[in-house]
Copies of this chain bind each other. A is one copy, B any other.
Amino acid sequence: MSNVLDVSAKGVFPIAVTPFTEDGQLDLASTDRMVDFYLECGANGLTILGILGEATKLTADESRTFVARVLARVAGRMPVVVGASAPGFAPMRELATSVMDMGASGVMVAPAPTLRTDEQIVAYFDMVAATLRERCPWVLQDHPVSTGVQMAPSVILRILGNAPTCVMLKHEDIPGLSKLSAIRAASEQGTVRRVSILTGNGGGLFLPEELTRGADGAMTGFAYPEMMVEVCKAHAAGNVERAHDVFDAYLPLARYEQQPNIGLAVRKYLMAKRGVIASAALRKPRAQLTAADVADIERLVKRQATRLEALK
């Protein structure tokens, strides 16, 4: 493994949570343990300060502290991507420069929610590329559910054509399988250079199908990243049915974790239960689990364990 982020990236880049203590402070000890956990699971990279990393709830100082801690613990063993979407280019450049200086491998940028036409979107990412400068590899995040911006395949191809520093597409559009096929077809025909595509569609809920369409792996945050690692490995080895078998075993719980709004609370509950982080606490504003939610989760975890046993 290396910490370089380029178009050859593949495998699983979990979207890390940001651990807090019960009283809402950054939990750096849990941060270390979380990094170790992802490495042990076989992660090929890590993404921090994404939407589900509660990035917007951190102060600027806390963000820097958290990034530094993660990078120190990773110690070059895998690339680390940092979320850098911002409403203005001045704070975007500041954050990107700062995290690249600290040792990050690249940043991830989603379109501003106000963009609508193809032209506006392409122009925006031209400015992003100019803002980030030549030594900063970046990931284009296509996530209409959170941004409201729909990027046609032709728009993505234009962005990739304009910006040599864009090395990866994080594909999260739904429906997105046809889009994925279209982008892969374009690079196979030589219309555009081939970049890495990692998917996060519905939190990975279409992972086996996406790999079949040409995705290089997953960038998403399910509390059982080993599922994504196994699915990617089986698929890469040509064992597509095995990839589906593994995926199906985890699907009922993954589905529950992907509920909008309470999903992150479910994920943190599971990661605390697994001993990865000390507390499942989210910062405000936040959704909270009820006793009935926890009962649902516990049932699903138990049933999952049985299925995993059968799968061995």
A1 within 8 A of B: no
One complex includes copies of this chain to the number of 4
- Assess the A175–B259 pair: CB atoms within 8 A: yes
Q: Which residues of B contact A256 (CB under 8 A)?
A: 206, 209
Tell me which of B56, B112, B117, B290 contacts A87 (CB under 8 A). Answer: B56
Determine how close the nearest CB of chain B comes to the CB of A28; give it in whole angstroms.
16
User: A88 and B259 in contact (CB under 8 A), knowing A177-B292, A181-B290?
Assistant: no
A248, closest chain B residue (CB)? B252
- Assess the B116–A150 pair: CB atoms within 8 A: yes
- Assess the B155–A54 pair: CB atoms within 8 A: no
Tally of chain A residues near chain B (CB < 8 A): 60
A283 within 8 A of B: yes
A151, closest chain B residue (CB)? B117
**Which of the 9-residue segments A57-65, A76-84, A102-110, A186-194 touches chain B?**
A57-65
- Assess the B284–A89 pair: CB atoms within 8 A: yes
Determine how close the nearest CB of chain B comes to the CB of A273; give it in whole angstroms.
18
- Assess the A119–B57 pair: CB atoms within 8 A: no
User: A152 and B118 in contact (CB under 8 A), knowing A296-B209, A296-B212?
Assistant: yes
Q: Which residues of B contact A292 (CB under 8 A)?
A: 177-178, 181, 212-213
CA distance A248 to B287 in the complex (A): 27
Nearest first, the 9 A-B pairs at minimum CB distance are: A57-B88, A56-B87, A116-B150, A117-B152, A118-B118, A59-B94, A175-B259, A60-B60, A175-B261
